[in-house]
Structure 1
Amino acid sequence: MIGFIGAGAMGSAIMQGAMSKGHSDIVFAEANEERARALTEETGARHATNIEVVQEASVVILAVKPNVISSVLDEIASAAGSTVLVSIAAGTTIETLAAHLEPGQPIVRVMPNVAAQIGQSMSALCPNDHVSADQLAEVQEVFDAVGQTEILAEKDFATFAAIAGCSPAFTFEYIDAMARAAVANGLPKAQAVRIATQAVVGAASLVQERAETPANLADLVQSPGGTTVAGVVALEEAGFGRATVKGVQAAIDRDIALQGN
C-alpha cells in the first residue's frame, strides 16, 4: 500500500500518476477537508489520519511544505516503524529529516518538478542507508509513474534542483521571449506561444531520442550562411550561453545558502 501525507497539487499529481500505473491501494491524509473529499470522490483513495497512513502503508510520500514537515515527522515518528518515509520537501536534508525520527528509519529524499502534474517530471531520489534495494525500487516505481527518475547523491541535489527544478521557469521565459519576438513581427501572441512551445517540445524530444549531443544536433540545423546560424551567432553575442550558466549557478548558490540557514 502507498500512503500520502499531504494531497495538494504535487501530492495529488503523484497519487494520480501512481494510480494510473495500477497502484489502486492508496491511503492519504489531507488537512483540507474539502480537498480530501474531492480527491476521495475523484480517485477512490481512502482518507485517513497521519498516524493511520504510516501504520498501514509500506511507503509514505510526505507531500507537505518544508515549514511544516518537522511537526509532521514529530507526530508520526513513533508509529512509522519500518515504513519508508519519502520526503519531497525542498531544501530539507536527510540528516534534518532523520533528526525527527527513530534511529534506523528508512528515508528517501525525492525532488520532483512541476511537470509531475502532467506526468513529465524529472525526479531525483536519494535513499539513506536503511533503505533496501527493494524498497528503493518501490519508491522509484511510484515516481516513474509521473515522469523519469535518477538516483543521485544528496550532495548533487542543489545542482539537480537548478537544472530540473528551476529550469522549467527558465524555459517558460525562453518560450515567452520567442513569442514576443514573433509578436513584434506580426504574429498574434497566442499563436506565437503555440508555435514556440511545440518547437521546444520537438527539440527536447530529439535530444532524448537521438544518440547525439545537443551541440551536434545544433550543428545539424545550421547551414553555412543561413538564418539559423545567424540567429545562433546573435544569441552568443548577446551572452545567451553565459547567461544560462550564470542562471543555473545562481540557483545552485541560493539552494546551498538556504540549506545553511
Structure 2
Amino acid sequence: MASALIRGMIRAGVTTADLVSTSDPLASTRDELARETGITAAASNFAMVERSDVLVLAVKPQSMGQVLRELAAVVTPDHLVVSIAAGVSIATISDALGAGRRVVRVMPNTPALLGEGASAYALGPNATSDDAAVVQAFLDSVGRAVRVPESQLDAVTGLSGSGPAFVYMIIEALSDGGVRAGLPRDVATMLAAQTVLGSARMVLETNLHPGALKDQVTSPGGTTIAGLHALERAGVRGALIDAVQAAAHRSAELAAVAPQ
C-alpha cells in the first residue's frame, strides 16, 4: 500500500521523487522502490523523520506499538502523522507520540494499487484543515477519498476495505453463470469483470441512484427482470448487507484488542 501511495502521488504530480523518502528493513524492497520511483530509501525510520514533515506509518497493526515507541522521541508537533494501520486508533497513536501531535488515520483499499482506491480518513483533534487537504490530495492520487469521523472507520472497513473481496466473489459467480450458460471461462470472466467495471463507472459518472440505473436496464417481461427476480428470491441483497455489517463488526472487535 505504501508503494501504491508513493507511485500515485508522483504520477499525479502531488509531489516529486526528490521530496519522498521511505524506510524498510528489507534491502531488496528498498532497492526496488528506489530504482522504480527515484525516491530515497533507507533502513532507518529515524532518517525519514529527520528529513520529513509528513510521516506515513504504513506498518502492520501488530508492529505499530514498537514503531511508535521508537519514534516518540523524535516526532514533534511539526510533523503530520498519517497512519494506514487498521484498528489502531488516533488516541493510541497520540498517546504514544505525545501531546499536541497531529494525527490522521486512513482506511485505504487494495485497488489503490491501480489508482482506483476507495479511501476514508479521520482527523485527530490536533490535525488542521491544511492537514486534511494534504491527505485528501495524496489519497485522491490513487483513487477517491472521503473524510469521516473516526467512529465510522469500522463501517468503512466493512464496505470499501473488505468490499473488493465481495466484488471478486460476485465477478467469479457471474463468470460461473456465463460458463453454465455455455461461454468459455476466459470469455465469461472478461465479460463479468468488464460489466462490473462499466457499471461502477456509470454510478460514479452519472450520479444517478443505482436503482434508477437498474431500472434503465430492466424492461417489462424481459431477461433482466427475470434475473433480478432470481436474485431477490435468493436473498442476494440481504446477504451483501450482512457481509458489510459482519466485516464492520469484526473490524470493531479487532480494534478493541489491537496491540497498544
Q: Structure 1: how far apart are the matches of 2:85 and 2:212?
A: 37
Q: Structure 2: how far apart are the matches of 1:39 and 1:252?
A: 33
Q: Structure 2: how far apart are the matches of 1:159 and 1:249?
A: 8
3-state SS of paired residue (1:110): strand
| Superimposed CA distance per residue, residues 19-47 of structure 1 (whole angstroms, 9 cap, x where no aligned partner) | 11221110111111111011111111012
1:15 to 3, 6, 25: 6
Task: Indicate the residue corresponding to 1:38 in structure 2.
Answer: 32
Task: Indicate the residue corresponding to 1:4 in structure 2.
Answer: none
1:110 touches 1:126 (CA, 8 Å); kept in 2? yes
Higher normalized contact order (CA 8 Å, seq sep 6+, divided by chain length): 2
Q: Structure 1: how far apart are the matches of 2:130 and 2:243?
A: 37
Instruction: Provide closer, same or farther for how the CA distance between residues 211 and 140 of structure 1 changes in structure 2, counting only shifts above 3 A.
Output: closer
1:68 lines up with 2:63 in the alignment: yes
| Superimposed CA distance per residue, residues 152-199 of structure 1 (whole angstroms, 9 cap, x where no aligned partner) | 001101111111011100000000001011112221111111001111
Let me know the Cα RMSD of the aligned residues: 1.0
1:170 to 166, 171, 193: 166
1:14 touches 1:146 (CA, 8 Å); kept in 2? yes
1:56 lines up with 2:47 in the alignment: no
Task: Indicate the residue corresponding to 1:256 in structure 2.
Answer: 252
1:101 lines up with 2:92 in the alignment: no
Task: Indicate the residue corresponding to 1:28 in structure 2.
Answer: 22
1:59 touches 1:139 (CA, 8 Å); kept in 2? no
Q: Structure 1: how far apart are the matches of 2:49 and 2:221?
A: 63
| Superimposed CA distance per residue, residues 97-148 of structure 1 (whole angstroms, 9 cap, x where no aligned partner) | 1121111111000010000100111111111121121122112211111111
Aligned pairs, number: 252
| Superimposed CA distance per residue, residues 44-75 of structure 1 (whole angstroms, 9 cap, x where no aligned partner) | 10123211211211111111100101111111
Give structure 1 regions of 4+ aligned residues with deviation exceeding 4 angstroms. none
| Superimposed CA distance per residue, residues 216-258 of structure 1 (whole angstroms, 9 cap, x where no aligned partner) | 1111111000000000011000111111111111111111111
Which blocks of at least 5 consecutive residues in structure 1 are unaligned?
A: 1-9
Q: Which amino acid aligns with 2:187?
A: Q
Task: Indicate the residue corresponding to 1:233 in structure 2.
Answer: 229
Among all aligned residue pairs of Structure 1 and Structure 2, give the percentage whose two residues are the same amino acid.
Answer: 37
Q: Structure 2: how far apart are the matches of 1:32 and 1:188?
A: 43
Q: Structure 2: how far apart are the matches of 1:210 and 1:164?
A: 20
Q: Structure 2: how far apart are the matches of 1:246 and 1:257?
A: 16
1:47 lines up with 2:41 in the alignment: yes
Q: Structure 2: how far apart are the matches of 1:125 and 1:139?
A: 8
Q: Which amino acid aligns with 2:4?
A: A
Q: Structure 2: how far apart are the matches of 1:61 and 1:169?
A: 25
Q: Which amino acid aligns with 1:246?
A: D
1:76-87 equivalences in 2 (<5 Å): 76-81=71-76, 82-87=78-83
Which blocks of at least 5 consecutive residues in structure 2 are unaligned?
A: none
Q: Structure 1: how far apart are the matches of 2:27 and 2:235?
A: 50
TM-score (structure 2 length as normaliser): 0.94
Q: Which amino acid aligns with 1:52?
A: A
1:247 to 220, 231, 243: 243
